[in-house]
Amino acid sequence: MLPPIPPSVEDFENSRLVGTQLHNLDLGVARFANLELSFVLRQAFDVEVLKSTALNLVKTWPALSERMYLTRYGFSPSKDPELEGMWNARTIDSTLNEALPYLKDAPRVVDSTLLDKLLTFDTTLKEQLYPRALSISVASLKDACLIKFVIQHTFCDASGLYRIVEAYCRLLSGGTIRSMKPRVPLDLADEDTHDPKAPPEPSAERCDGYFAHGWGALVGAAWTQWRNQRQGPNRVVKTAMIPNFVIDKLAKEAEAEGIRVTRHDLLMAWIYVATMPEIPTLAQKKAAGPPQFSFTLNIARQLKENSDFHNPWILVISPDVEATELSARTPIIASAKHFRSVISDVRRPEPVRQIIRKHDNVRSTPLGFKDWGSIEPNVTLSSWTNLPMYDLEFASPGGSKVSPEFVQITILACPLVGMLGASVADAILTWVSKDGFWLQGTLDEKLWKRIVDFSKME
């Protein structure tokens, strides 16, 4: 029997079974999404050892076994048997090269669904509507092991998921991990210096044209996306590589022009130019809305305290690059300079404060997107490039440690939203390997072709 739906937020907060407490950013954009982190290990593993390690992880950090309520505004401790709904495993009678043949060729672009299918399992309705905070899936091949970690995004961000995998690896090698620290309130470090009469910030006002509030708006946006998917364009999920030499060349161009930007600014600008219409065309837009570009910005340093696991980030809706900025430089360098200016501005205390205030009522009135699944590009970028995914080490049966041969990251709509006919479209995740930057997302097929062409630029 399915657990009852809590009648109200207040009843949940006053319940004796209150689990992990979530702040307003946890319940914002992240509320209806799942993060997946998959690893390809060219080494066979003992599945029972992997399973016992998962059990050890959950016993040390019991919050990972809590279940979400149906409306996804909180977690509650589960009375179900340990690892029920958290662990799936299968054996596949093939070698790694047979299962994932693209790994032999050092590809620039990958069909993300191949690895996803190997690590996808049938789940019950209960697991879809009331999922555990964390789940782990394993596929054992003749000469390899595939392992996927899925976290309810409202529980934590990319750094939190990485920390979970890092802890799992430590336990797998026979080490120990400390207990999980309690969550702390979402308070800005400079709250005492806040000027209540501060004028509205443009970055916060842009949120009003981007977000939709309420269950009705969420269902309406899902229906709009369902309708647009039948009209086109055809969005497909892929993973692509941007080689180091592409960003290296851009960095040299920026330095020669005296433009002070980071490699990540250049990466973001590269993606912007590859996925959006030509900048002069963007400059002719008369109103807010797609085509548009947004990105996540970490604000952990602006907070008074940080929990081990939460979502210390805001979504920044970028103004379009002005056509006049192209007068003396290439589109990518101009865009990188533009993004550096946007980031510097939004990181000021007042814009951060006002954007957070846009999340004041998210507990009872969920946050959605007005242009979810629009026909035109509505790209959102989230960067994981600060997390050394390929440096993680999984202890093998023989005692040696194996680093991933391939890593794939995915953001998905939770099953509850999927049942409404919606999916995560035009969201791009980026991470780094020794050969360059990877990006993954669900984009128009034409945009993927353009991205591949861009990545070949010498």
CA distances for 197 relative to 194, 201, 336, 354, angstroms:
9, 12, 33, 12
The percentage of residues in the chain with a pLDDT greater than 90, rounded to a whole number, is 67
Strand pairing of 427-433 and 378-383?
A: parallel
Strand-strand pairing, 436-444 and 235-243 = antiparallel
- Sorted by where each begins, the domain ranges of the chain are 20-184+387-414, 204-379
| Verdict on whether the full-model pTM lies above 0.75 | yes
Mean pLDDT across 53-60:
97
Specify the higher pLDDT residue, 453 or 313. Answer: 313
What is the spatial distance between Cα 33 and Cα 409, in angstroms, rounded to a whole number?
A: 13
- pLDDT score recorded for residue 284: 62
The percentage of the chain sitting over the pLDDT mark of 70, rounded to a whole number, equals 91
d(CA 418, CA 420): 5
- What pLDDT score does 48 carry? 96
Query: Buried (b) or exposed (e) across 223-244, using 16+ Cβ within 10 A?
Result: ebbeebbeeeeebebbbbbbbe
Q: Where are the alpha helices (DSSP H) in 277-330?
A: 279-283
What are 271-310's pLDDT values in tens digits?
999 998 776 666 566 566 678 899 999 999 999 999 999 9
Mean pLDDT calculated for residue range 392-419: 91
Backbone angles phi, psi at 337, to 5 degrees: -60, -40
pLDDT at 286: 55
Query: What distance in Å separates the CA atoms of residue 329 and residue 317, rounded to the nearest whole number?
Result: 24
Residue ranges in 119-214 assigned as alpha helix (H): 125-129, 158-172, 202-208
DSSP bridge pairs for 148: 38, 137
| Mean pLDDT within 237-260 | 94
Q: Are 135 and 81 in contact, with CB atoms under 8 Å apart?
A: no
pLDDT at 63 over 90: yes
Q: Quick check: 226 and 421 in contact, CB under 8 A?
A: yes
Topology of domain 20-184+387-414, CATH: Chloramphenicol Acetyltransferase (3.30.559)
Q: What distances in angstroms separate CA 256 from CA 118, 217, 263, 339, 457, one per listed residue?
A: 47, 48, 15, 19, 19
pLDDT in tens, 174-186: 999 999 988 999 9
> Does residue 194 carry a pLDDT above 90?
no
Average confidence (pLDDT) over 412-437: 89
Supply the pLDDT for residue 282. Answer: 61
